């Protein structure tokens, strides 16, 4: 088992397979379900955006979209448990058969009305998400490192909302500022592990005219894979001044939701709730 510099186990191999079976098989045992917990918040934000900006079909950019998991949950109104059941124990199927089943799912179910665009460094995961129709478009880029090409700028140009689960920490201010520069002033909602300080991203967004609120609530992302991973992550948390008592000490990685919007037109429901809670 390999661990990265933050103490988390390295799962890179499951992000770059031709279809999501290895991804869901590996993560089922860890009870990874942050996309499920995030789903109602993303759905609310999309609805609020549609009402506030009167955009019928907003464009949602999922950063670190992988196989289009957030898009599948929102677009097809399925759950993470549905997806675990769907992809585990079908080893004998060809990739074409797995794609065909998912295309049928996309045709037969409707959830949030939005245009979903994924951004990821994994070409195989993006290709799968495009072929199935989970994603309407895909940007294969590492914007932490590179500037977007002219084609990528055009793909990002109409972004209304930016969402992410499990990606910020590895993806950060570089990517978000390039997305804002390409698109204007999208609303954002990011579920970020407590071990990854959000301050530098918040500062960078503030420089672009954004306000960020962090919900007090914490969300279970997944179980630790081993005591060794837990111990390494507890060290990282201590290094960034986060108290893990009663949370990470009990065996789970926890995330928090950060919602950001342009100061002159902030996401109403989240910000109202936040400001009311803080004025009491
Ligand atoms: C832990 S997975 C999360 C996938 C999905 N959002 C979910 O919650 O199931 C992290 C994803 O971020 C992608 N990623 C890592 N570095 C990236 C970068 N610099 N730009 C875009 N995506 C990146 C990985 O390829 C991977 O698909």
Query: In this structure, what CATH number is given to the domain that contains residue 62?
Result: 3.40.50
How far is the centre of ligand 1, averaged over its atoms, from the C-alpha of 85 (Å)?
Answer: 22
- 186: which strand partners? none
Query: Is 45:104 a contact under the CB 8 Å cutoff?
Result: no
Residue range(s) defining the domain that contains residue 238: 12-279
Residue 2 pLDDT level (bands cut at 50, 70, 90): confident
How far is the centre of ligand 1, averaged over its atoms, from the C-alpha of 63 (Å)?
Answer: 7
Nearest Cα to Cα of residue 175 among 130, 205, 144: 144
Does 49 reside within a domain? yes
Q: What is the per-residue pLDDT for 94?
A: 93
Assess whether the C-beta atom of 60 lies below 6 angstroms from ligand 1.
no
Query: Is 143:119 a contact under the CB 8 Å cutoff?
Result: yes
What are 52-93's pLDDT values in tens digits?
A: 999 999 999 999 999 999 999 999 999 999 999 999 878 889
**Which residue, chain included where needed, has tokens 């992302």?**
221
Whether 123 shows a pLDDT value over 80: the answer reads yes
Assess whether the C-beta atom of 272 lies below 6 angstroms from ligand 1.
no
36: which 2 tokens?
């499920």
Does 6 reside within a domain? no
Q: Which atom of ligand 1 is found nearest the CA of 119?
A: 21
Assess whether the C-beta atom of 144 lies below 6 angstroms from ligand 1.
yes
**Which residue, chain included where needed, has tokens 């959830």?**
111
Whether 37 shows a pLDDT value over 70: the answer reads yes
- For ligand 1, atom 21, name the residue with the nearest CA: 120
Does 7 reside within a domain? no
Whether 174 shows a pLDDT value over 90: the answer reads yes
Does 71 reside within a domain? yes
d(CA 48, CA 53): 8
What are 194-248's pLDDT values in tens digits?
A: 999 999 999 999 999 999 999 999 999 999 999 999 999 999 999 999 999 999 9
57: which 2 tokens?
């079909």
Taking the CA atoms of residue 94, residue 96, residue 98 and residue 101 in that order, the dihedral angle to the nearest 10 degrees is: -140
Residues 122-139, mean pLDDT to the nearest whole number: 98
Whether 191 shows a pLDDT value over 70: the answer reads yes
d(CA 32, CA 191): 13
90: which 2 tokens?
């079908």
Does 261 reside within a domain? yes
Assess whether the C-beta atom of 64 lies below 6 angstroms from ligand 1.
yes
Residue 266 pLDDT level (bands cut at 50, 70, 90): low
Whether 132 shows a pLDDT value over 90: the answer reads yes
Assess whether the C-beta atom of 255 lies below 6 angstroms from ligand 1.
no
Q: Tell me the best of 63, 72, 121, 164 to mutate to test the pocket of ligand 1, counting ligand atoms within 8 Å of each CB and taking the most.
A: 121
Residues 107-118, mean pLDDT to the nearest whole number: 92
Q: What is the per-residue pLDDT for 279?
A: 62
Query: Is 261:271 a contact under the CB 8 Å cutoff?
Result: yes
Does 1 reside within a domain? no
The contacts of residue 122 (CB under 8 Å, 6+ apart) are 15, 16, 66
Query: Is 119:186 a contact under the CB 8 Å cutoff?
Result: no
211: which 2 tokens?
């306000």
Does 4 reside within a domain? no
d(CA 96, CA 89): 16
Does 37 reside within a domain? yes
Query: Is 215:257 a contact under the CB 8 Å cutoff?
Result: yes
CA 216 to each of CA 9, 19, 181, 190, 256: distance values in angstroms, whole numbers, following the listed order: 27, 36, 29, 14, 7
Percent of residues, the chain, with pLDDT higher than 70? 95
Q: Which atom of ligand 1 is found nearest the CA of 62?
A: 6
Query: Is 163:61 a contact under the CB 8 Å cutoff?
Result: yes
Please tell me which residue, 198 or 278, carries the higher pLDDT value: 198
Total length of the chain:
280
Q: How many domains does the chain have?
A: 1
How far is the centre of ligand 1, averaged over its atoms, from the C-alpha of 191 (Å)?
Answer: 12
The contacts of residue 85 (CB under 8 Å, 6+ apart) are none
pTM above threshold 0.85: yes
Q: What is the per-residue pLDDT for 74?
A: 97
Q: What is the per-residue pLDDT for 265?
A: 76
Assess whether the C-beta atom of 170 lies below 6 angstroms from ligand 1.
yes
What are 141-164's pLDDT values in tens digits?
A: 999 999 999 999 999 999 999 999
Q: What sign results for the dihedral spanned by CA atoms 126, 128, 134, 136?
A: positive
Assess whether the C-beta atom of 142 lies below 6 angstroms from ligand 1.
yes
CA 186 to each of CA 42, 64, 143, 211, 270: distance values in angstroms, whole numbers, following the listed order: 13, 17, 17, 12, 15
User: What rounded mean pLDDT belongs to the chain?
Assistant: 94
């Amino acid at each position: 088992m390999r661990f990265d510099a933050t103490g988390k186990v390295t799962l890179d191999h499951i992000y770059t397979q031709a279809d999501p079976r290895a991804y869901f098989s590996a993560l089922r045992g860890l009870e990874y379900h942050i996309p499920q917990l995030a789903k109602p918040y993303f759905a609310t934000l999309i609805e609020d955006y549609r009402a506030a900006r009167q955009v019928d079909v907003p464009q949602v950019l999922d950063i670190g979209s992988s196989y289009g998991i957030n898009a599948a949950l929102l677009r097809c109104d399925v759950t993470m448990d549905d997806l675990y059941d769907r992809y585990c124990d079908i080893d004998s199927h060809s990739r074409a058969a797995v794609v065909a089943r998912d295309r049928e799912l996309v045709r037969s179910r409707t959830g949030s009305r939005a245009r979903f665009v994924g951004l990821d460094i994994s070409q195989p995961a993006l290709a799968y998400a495009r072929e199935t129709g989970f994603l309407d478009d895909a940007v294969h880029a590492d914007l932490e490192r590179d500037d977007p090409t002219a084609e990528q700028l055009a793909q990002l140009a109409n972004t209304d909302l930016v969402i992410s689960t499990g990606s910020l920490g590895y993806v950060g201010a570089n990517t978000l500022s390039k997305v804002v520069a390409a698109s204007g002033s999208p609303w954002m909602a990011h579920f970020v592990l407590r071990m990854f300080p959000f301050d530098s991203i918040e500062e960078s967004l503030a420089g672009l005219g954004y306000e960020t609120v962090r919900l007090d609530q914490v969300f279970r992302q997944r179980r630790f894979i081993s005591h060794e991973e837990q111990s390494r992550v507890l060290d990282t948390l201590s290094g960034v001044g986060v108290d893990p008592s009663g949370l990470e000490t009990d065996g789970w990685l926890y995330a928090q939701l950060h919602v950001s919007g342009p100061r002159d037109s902030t996401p109403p429901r989240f910000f109202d709730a936040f400001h009311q809670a803080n004025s009491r």
